[in-house]
Amino acid sequence: MIKIYCLDNSELTEFEASSRGYRSDIFVKTIASNIYQLHVYDIIRLQQDFETEIDSYGFFGIDPNIILVKEVLLSNIKLTIIKLFAQHFFDYLKPIEQKKIDINTMIEI
């Protein structure tokens, strides 16, 4: 069992995230009470970031804990996280320190 949280689930935030193709305020709490911050991209935004960084710096500094979705909507994010959890995706990630984040101030989705 997992719980999925975000900082804001308003319609405006959902629209902006979908338009930008990126969202970084997604957190997952596992049954072991580990908390993970995810960086959610659609493939178009990831490719744009890749090309921009390659052109500017000659390499791509990838964000940790990236997941890709068809469109950056909470429904797609939630479905993807549930499927990834079933495949033990989180077993390979490093959780964030719980003292750095207060999950109680977030919105469960």
According to the model, what pLDDT value does residue 1 have?
85
| pLDDT tens per residue across span 74-109 | 999 999 999 999 999 999 999 998 777 888 899 999
* Tokens of residue 32, six digits: 């072991």
Cβ neighbours of 52 (radius 10 Å): 11
3-state secondary structure of 77: helix
Q: Alpha-carbon distance 38 to 102, whole Å?
A: 15
pTM for the whole structure: 0.92
* Tokens of residue 44, six digits: 């178009």
3-state secondary structure of 4: strand
* Tokens of residue 90, six digits: 């989180």
